[in-house]
Structure 1
Amino acid sequence: MDEIESWLKERGITEVECLVPDITGIARGKILPARKFIQSQLDQSLRLPENIFTQTVTGEFVTTDVTDEIEPDVILRPDPSTLRLVPWYSEPTAQVICDAHYRSGKPVPFAPRQVLRRVLDHFKRRNWQPIVSPELEFFLVARNLDPDLPLQPPIGRSGRPEVGRQSFGIDAVNEFDPIFEDVYDYCEAQELDVDTLIHEAGAAQVEINFNHGEPMSMADQAFLFKRTVRNVAISHDVYATFMAKPYQNEPGSAMHIHQSLVDARTGENLFSTRAGKNSRLFLSYIAGLQEYSPAAMPLLAPNVNSYRRITPDWSAPINLLWADENRTVGLRIPASGRENRRVENRVPGADANPYLVIAATLACGYLGMSQRLKPSEPTIGSAYGKPDFALPRYLPDALEQLRHSSDLQRILGRDFAHLLVAVKQQEMNAYHEVISAWEREHLLLNV
């Protein structure tokens, strides 16, 4: 606590935002004066109700048998390693990500950070250290005040919206240069380890790559990055969206996860043999992704909109085939040497919770290694149209697969899996109550 107090005083911090990622990845929490925050750590008065983890994206609360019906408080414990400035405020403000514990000291098992920590503990017991690197895609869009109206690309510095395909276009990115200058400045102020920025295929769609690192740290950074981008965009009178498929006629947005495995004692890459070939562990890791990712889809593609992205029309994966340097497969092996051998999971959407995405993909790979599974043969040519290892196409199908995967539930935590299914089922119910524009257009006068 002394470390945090000194950090706050050195920077003249007046307020502290205590953040807790919920199931969806939304930042819940409390904002406290700095002196009150310090006192709350001494008397454990920083609390929130347990049911913040049962909240749906629409703000409803789900009742399950894994949570307490009396809605007790849980105690928030700030993680000092996540303490950062909030650079978009004029007043000196700090933010810190918190873990949730019961009064007994037991961690809340369905808190997303705890789900990831649980998975990482399985690796730790075998002296395996996963290394990950997220790639996050998102769209800049014009302000949209009426959700019944389709989104539109924003106006850039040329005074015109982008309408064509500008993949990797430098000038297309520079249309919004003031926004991205602020993004980089704010990321630097928060010590977010972002790397390159490129223009993606969609109108005003960009991708930010992170440098590789330890999974919890990278999940924290991706969580804070999404919040940062949204705030920067609003300050420039546009929106930034991480929806998986915001436009009907544009590509979707992904959160690709590059992942490798090193020996925690020696730092040696365990995915490569000494001769530079695929190791047995590497092949089993891939096999685990093929075997268990369909059941992990409620974490990799958690929303009804997520499944609109999973279509070959826009170079998104539709199966879990694997191959070297092949962007049509769900599991791509980038060209890399012995020390950097890795697999890129191209299935997750940008709309997913970073903690749960990383937990899910690592859990699938871990199960493959621990069970010594064998993958399919690598794919030759395009994977589109191949039926093998097909992904669920709709959220109800994915939820059903998670319900029946006892192995994946065991790794992630059965209470968490039960709660996630309940939350997503409630969101499905809410979605089905909405009458869409398509129904009004085609059914109103024709049936």
Structure 2
Amino acid sequence: MASKAKQHPAIEAVLKSGTGKVKVAASDIDGVLRGKYLHLDKFLGAAEPGPGGGFGFCDVVFGWDSSDSCYDNATLTGWQHGFPDATARLDLDTYRRVPWDGGVPFFLGEFIRPDGSPYPICPRQTLKRVLKRAEALGVLPMCGVEFEWFNFAETPQSWAAKKGVGPEPITPGMFGYSLLRMNHKREFFNALMDEMPAFGIPIEGLHTETGPGVYEVAILFSEALEAADRAILFKTGTKEIGSRFGVMPSFMAKWSQQYPGCSGHIHQSLSDGKANLFYDAKSPRKMSKLFESYLAGQVACLMEFAPMFWPTINSYKRLVDGFWAPVKPTWGMDNRTASFRVIAGSPKATRLETRCPGADINPYLAMAAVLAAGLYGVEKGLKLTVPPITGTNQGAENIPRAPRTLIETTRNFRQSVIARDWLGDDFVDHFAATREWEWRQWLDGVTDWELKRYFEII
């Protein structure tokens, strides 16, 4: 193996681990980590720098949905190409060891073309494309992700036996910030707090939310790519840890009409590498002109990227008026009813919280969307002319509501000149096709709601 690769600290750490194997994974379109174990020798070959590095990974990971059904409308991958191997390249800077899997070394990967250029429909590469443009603007995006998710006393076997109906939450009732409810599954709760940081995912806070068995986590902020890595690993890691305690976590946007949905809020600021460029002590709102342009970009065009942060049929069930999730592209000062919550005050903490996304996001794509919209505003020097809302959507009366279906947002996304400019035609066309496929699966499905409503009476 090339000595240059051996010099990377991650390579040395793997060699010293003595495990003889390495765990690797990459994100599919839906934000599901697809991975495998590699023998140490195979890993060392894959870790080679330059054209000889990487390893073959079937490109079906971009050609099927979350249920492994293959798309019939994709062009860059599909049956017509025979689902060949694409080259997956490991990012050695993502090195971790998995505390709940015997300390096995772990790496995230991304896909490249034969010439070494980014694979255009790889989610991690899509985010990196946006970050490269941020670098050209002289800014460094900093992000932090929050998730809400429900936890159920289920196993894959028990859930299959229930045929998708009637999951049992681990605790009853509506009890946010509850020490009592945390105590009920304290082993699981403590495992998240202890093992996630050991896995390179520092948790800023973890508490119960309003709803039976629902938790909320805030993951410590970092540079955007690392933040997205942490977010996708948190979702998978939570599921793996939960299974040890008979807990099935669900990041579905809305599992029950009766309860609030689950969010995936993204906090953002821009740095020059030293200081927070969103803060301006001289501004009455402590917001810099750069911050105002960034926010203006999200207000103006984030809805053009909507399928990237509302990616499933179920995402839109969360968008209910008066049920916590914002339904209009509004902004406000420390206002949780707005889509864009400005948190302005200290030089360190001034930031934007984009509250639109649900917990069902692919973190790479949702982060790419919010950053692209904000950086569009910076690039164009947009002015923040829309006033903030106050109270519960006061001042939003004449602002159009967000669409309620995946097909509506997908059509808008496909036609978006801004999305194509920032993400590339190949990605927009492919991702739009996958969302159209998702919509068609919904059209063909017969739900228990329909059976309950029509089976006897009609």
Give the structure-1-normalised TM-score. 0.93
**Structure 1 residue ranges without an equivalent (≥5):** 155-160
Q: Which of 383-392 and 283-292 deviates more?
A: 383-392
Amino acid of the residue matched to residue 374 of structure 1?
A: K
Aligned counterpart in structure 1 of residue 135 of structure 2, from 105, 124, 133: 124
> Which residue number in structure 2 is paired with residue 380 of structure 1?
390
List aligned pairs for 1:297-446, cutoff 5 A: 297-375=306-384, 376-383=386-393, 386-446=397-457
Q: Give the distance between the partners of 2:57 and 2:352, measured in 1 at CA.
A: 38
SS at structure 2 position matched to 1:184: helix
Whichever residue aligns with residue 280 of structure 2, its letter is T
Return the alpha-carbon distance in structure 1 between the equivalents of residues 381 and 139 of structure 2: 15
Output aligned runs, 1:177-256, within 5 Å.
177-256=186-265
Q: d(CA) in 2 for partners of 1:128 and 1:223?
A: 24
State the SS of the aligned residue for 1:316.
Answer: coil
CA offset digits 1:228-264 (Å, max 9, x no partner): 1001111111200111101221111111111111224
Whether the aligned pair in 2 keeps the contact of 1:151 and 1:247 (CA below 8 Å) is no
- 1:149 corresponds in structure 2 to 165
TM-score for both structures, normalised by structure 2: 0.91
1:275 is the counterpart of 2:282: yes
One-letter amino acid matched to 2:276 = N
Within-5 A mapping of 1:71-150: 71-90=83-102, 92-143=103-154, 144-145=159-160, 146-150=162-166
User: Aligned-pair distance for 1:148?
Assistant: 3.5
Partner of 1:162: 172
Alpha-carbon RMSD across the aligned residues, in angstroms, is 1.8
Is contact 2:137–2:379 with CA below 8 Å preserved after alignment?
Answer: no
Q: Quick check: 1:29–1:48 contact (8 Å CA) kept in 2?
A: no
Q: Distance in 2 between matches of 1:356 and 1:55?
A: 17
Query: Is 2:26 the counterpart of 1:20?
Result: yes
Deviation per residue, 1:1-51 (Å, 9 max, x gap)? 313332112122232122011111111133212233223445546211233
SS of the residue 1:248 aligns to: coil
Contact kept? 1:132, 1:212, Cα under 8 Å? yes
Q: Is the 8 A contact 1:271 1:282 kept in 2?
A: yes
The residue aligned with 1:158 is: none
In structure 2, how many angstroms separate the alpha carbons of the residues matched to 1:410 and 1:318? 26
**Residues 305-358 of structure 1 deviation map (CA, whole Å, 9 limit, x = unaligned):** 111111134211111111111111111112422443211000000110011111
Instruction: Look up the equivalent residue of 1:395 and give its one-letter code.
Output: L
Which moves more between the two structures, 38-47 or 108-117? Answer: 38-47
- Residues 41 and 260 of structure 1: CA distance in aligned 2, closer, same or farther (over 3 Å): closer
How much does 1:423 deviate? 0.8
Is 2:32 aligned against 1:32? no
| Same amino acid, percent of matched pairs | 29
2:222 is paired with a residue whose SS is coil
Q: CA deviation at 1:387?
A: 4.7
Cα pair distance change 1:310/1:18, threshold 3 Å: same
3-state SS in 2 of match to 1:340: coil
1:248-306 Cα distance to aligned partner (Å, 9 max, x none): 21111111111111224xx2322233414322221221121112121111011100011
Following the alignment from structure 2 to structure 1, what is the Cα–Cα distance between the partners of residues 223 and 18?
A: 30
**Structure 1: how far apart are the matches of 2:85 and 2:374?**
35
Q: Residues 409-441 of structure 1, C-alpha deviation per residue, up to 9 Å, x if partnerless?
A: 210122111111111111111122211111111
Instruction: Please identify runs of 4+ aligned residues in structure 1 that moved more than 4 A.
Output: 42-45
What residue identity is the alignment partner of 1:201?
A: T
Deviation at 1:150, TM superposition (A): 2.4
Match of residue 302 from structure 2: 293
Q: Which amino acid is the alignment partner of residue 96 of structure 1?
A: F
Counterpart code for 1:331: F
**Aligned partners of 1:259 and 1:309: how far apart in 2?**
23
Letter in 2 for 1:365: G
Deviations along 1:140-190, one digit per CA (max 9) or x if unpaired, are 112123233122212xxxxxx322x21111222221110011112221221
SS of the counterpart of 2:88? strand
Pair 125,441 (structure 1): closer, same or farther in 2 beyond 3 Å: same
1:442 Cα offset (Å): 1.5
- Aligned residue pairs total 437
